[in-house]
């Protein structure tokens, strides 16, 4: 059975299409207007071995919050749809990821109960870079928590993200995306010893209720 999903989300603030294959090879096809988050999603796909196709636009004339948060929601919806009843998965995963001076930790439970703990010490100071044509392209680092809040709500997982040490906001955010990808990869993996079992004493893992 293919564990894939295609999600389209359209509001008065954003328009997003996202395709996900949980059992991919890490291919990312991204048409995304925020350069830094595009880099993070590419990194997430590579380290999770998830194939992701993403096209998005939004009201960046306001700020980046709406598009970043809605991207997290859409990605979470795709995980929920691709996992279906979650039969046979390991359900939990974790990763301790070192990146130069930074050490990040991610732990996830695909429990059907959304909860985010985000303790990453991000300064909130924008990262300033440039697009290929030289236009300035600052990234609002405070939106990263909104991305993961949207993801946990829409995927109905419990997700703990911590930066244990670090200096660079770029490294902190990137290490968190890499750790989260590897933790989710482990949680989504099929357990050959329990291929036909729901990994819960309840007999079910409820779907998310937050899809707004």
Q: Which tens digits make up the pLDDT trace of 35-58?
A: 999 999 999 999 999 999 999 999
Cβ atoms of 18 and 67 within 8 Å: the answer is no
Q: Where are the domains of the chain?
A: 4-194
Q: Distance between CA 113 and CA 116 in Å, rounded?
A: 10
Of residues 201, 1, 152, the one with CA closest to residue 83 = 1
Q: Where is pLDDT greater, at 205 or 29?
A: 29
The CATH number of 4-194 is: 3.30.230.40
Q: Distance between CA 7 and CA 11 in Å, rounded?
A: 13
Q: Which tens digits make up the pLDDT trace of 54-110?
A: 999 999 999 999 999 999 999 999 999 999 999 989 999 999 999 999 999 999 999
Q: Distance between CA 108 and CA 167 in Å, rounded?
A: 25
pTM beyond 0.85 = yes
Cβ atoms of 51 and 27 within 8 Å: the answer is yes
The token pair that represents 179 in the structure block: 């750790």
């Amino acid at each position: 059975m293919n564990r894939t999903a295609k999600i389209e989300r359209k509001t008065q603030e954003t328009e997003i299409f996202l395709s996900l294959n949980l059992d991919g090879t890490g291919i990312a096809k991204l048409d995304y207007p925020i350069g830094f988050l595009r880099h993070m999603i590419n990194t997430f796909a590579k380290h999770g071995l998830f194939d992701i196709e993403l096209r998005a636009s939004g009201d960046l004339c306001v700020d980046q919050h709406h598009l970043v948060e809605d991207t997290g929601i859409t990605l979470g919806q795709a995980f929920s749809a691709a996992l279906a009843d979650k039969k046979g998965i390991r359900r939990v995963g974790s990763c301790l990821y070192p990146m130069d001076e930074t050490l990040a930790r991610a732990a996830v439970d695909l429990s059907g109960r959304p909860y985010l703990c985000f303790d990453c010490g991000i300064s909130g100071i924008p990262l300033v870079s440039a697009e290929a044509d030289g236009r300035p392209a600052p990234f609002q680092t405070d939106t990263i928590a909104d991305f993961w809040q949207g993801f946990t709500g829409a995927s109905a997982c419990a997700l703990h993200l911590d930066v244990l040490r670090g200096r660079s906001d770029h490294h902190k955010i990137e290490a968190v995306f890499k750790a989260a990808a590897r933790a989710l990869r482990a949680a989504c993996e099929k357990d050959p010893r329990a291929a036909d079992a729901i990994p819960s004493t309840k007999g079910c893992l409820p779907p998310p209720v937050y899809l707004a």
